[in-house]
């Protein structure tokens, strides 16, 4: 037989140890969690009944538990709209006392959070990127691009109702640069420690979805003109957001482009999409003072950062590759030929 207020057990969490009191009179019929065992939140730990011929689960770690607090603590909580069930008491048997409710200048008592399961896609992405970051010797090279002519071209095409984005121009520039620098279009096979030389230029484009980042691929990108690239990117991005991409449309690729410029990000470092050997991070196009032929003027500037696998690609090769991309973007008429 147990009475209201009797201590039934002691519960230890990662933060504190508290005594669990019976919430009412009754009979302890069965102990479900033995001493020293772990219990999940809301898992039944015992069976209690009002009478000897009734079995009812009453003792659970849920929000129905009675909060034990001093009268002063209750008054402070009421005056400041504080939920006492969120407070761990420091008094006898976990009793909440006034000192437990001392407010900070921000009136923050505790942090409320919840957990959610990873989606299948996020699990795959997380495992792949974790492996990449832990096992690939990343290094980073950044190049500033004067994007004034590219902005002018984009505006001219827009006036003619030709829907070409900055990202389309960047993809075209990268594909042509990869054709000139075949060593960048490479990867690494970690199973046999051999360098992979990709025969085709297949560019993975990072697309954000509700389930995480997915990378649909523009296959043979260097063989496609800017209109074909633009159309294919829009179609793949749409399928990516609708989760209708086929596996063959996002598995593989020889090089990855990730663009956060539309979110105002100036520069960032991409994680390499293994087994590829490099990835390009594209920042925002912003207006800044620039020097052209010794004259200071206002122009458009963009930063590109190349992440490379040092087992496959040397720093000099990365620098030369970025210089070629810069050449194309600063002379964008070549990209629409």
Give percent above pLDDT 70 in the chain.
90
| Res. 15: pLDDT tops 60 | no
- CA 78 – CA 89 distance, rounded (Å): 16
- CA 153 – CA 242 distance, rounded (Å): 31
Q: Would you state the pLDDT for residue 107?
A: 45
In 169-321, the DSSP E strands lie at 186-189, 194-197, 203-205, 207-209, 212-214, 217-218, 255-259, 278-282, 286-292, 295-309
pLDDT tens track for 130-183: 999 999 999 999 999 999 999 999 999 999 999 999 999 999 999 999 999 999
Give percent above pLDDT 90 in the chain.
53
Give the Cβ contact number of residue 219 at 10 Å: 16
In 66-146, the DSSP E strands lie at 138-146
Supply the mean pLDDT for the chain.
87
**Which position among 107, 138, 154, 310 bears the catalytic label?**
310
Of 223, 224, 206, 226, give the one whose Cα is nearest residue 215: 206
Give the Cβ contact number of residue 228 at 10 Å: 14
Contact 275, 112 (CB under 8 A): no
| Res. 261: pLDDT tops 80 | yes
Contact 61, 75 (CB under 8 A): no
Does residue 154 carry a catalytic annotation?
no
pLDDT tens track for 34-78: 888 888 877 888 888 888 766 454 444 744 456 788 888 888 888
Q: Would you state the pLDDT for residue 324?
A: 98
pLDDT tens track for 27-46: 888 888 888 888 887 788 88
């Amino acid at each position: 037989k147990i009475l209201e207020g009797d201590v039934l057990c002691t519960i230890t969490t990662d933060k504190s140890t508290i005594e669990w009191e019976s919430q009412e009179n009754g009979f302890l019929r069965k102990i479900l969690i033995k001493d020293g065992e772990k219990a999940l939140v809301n898992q039944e730990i015992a069976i209690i009944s009002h009478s000897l011929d009734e079995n009812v689960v009453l003792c659970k770690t849920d929000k129905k538990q009675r909060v034990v607090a001093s009268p002063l603590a209750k008054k402070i909580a009421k005056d400041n709209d504080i939920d006492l069930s969120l407070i761990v008491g420091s008094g006898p048997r976990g009793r909440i006392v006034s000192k437990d409710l001392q407010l900070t200048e921000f009136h923050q008592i505790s942090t409320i959070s919840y957990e959610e399961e990873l989606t299948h896609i996020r699990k795959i992405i997380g495992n792949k990127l974790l492996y990449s970051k832990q096992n690939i010797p990343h290094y980073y090279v950044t190049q500033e691009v004067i994007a004034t002519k590219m902005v002018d071209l984009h505006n001219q095409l827009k006036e003619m109702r030709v829907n070409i984005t900055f990202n389309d121009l960047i993809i075209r520039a990268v594909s042509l640069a990869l054709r000139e620098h075949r060593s960048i279009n490479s990867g690494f096979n970690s199973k046999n420690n051999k360098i992979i030389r990709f025969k085709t230029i297949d560019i993975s484009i990072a697309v954000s979805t509700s389930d995480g980042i997915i990378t649909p691929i523009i296959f043979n990108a260097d063989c496609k003109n800017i209109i074909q690239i633009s159309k294919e990117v829009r179609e793949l991005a749409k399928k990516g957001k609708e989760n209708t991409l086929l596996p063959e449309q996002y598995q593989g690729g020889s090089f990855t482009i990730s663009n956060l410029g539309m979110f105002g990000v100036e520069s960032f470092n991409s994680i390499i999409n293994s087994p590829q050997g490099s990835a390009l991070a594209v920042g925002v196009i912003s207006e800044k003072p620039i020097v052209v032929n010794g004259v200071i003027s206002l122009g458009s500037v963009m930063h590109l950062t190349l992440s490379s696998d040092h087992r496959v690609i040397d720093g000099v090769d990365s620098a030369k590759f970025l210089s070629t991309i810069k050449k194309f973007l600063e002379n964008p008429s070549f990209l629409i030929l």
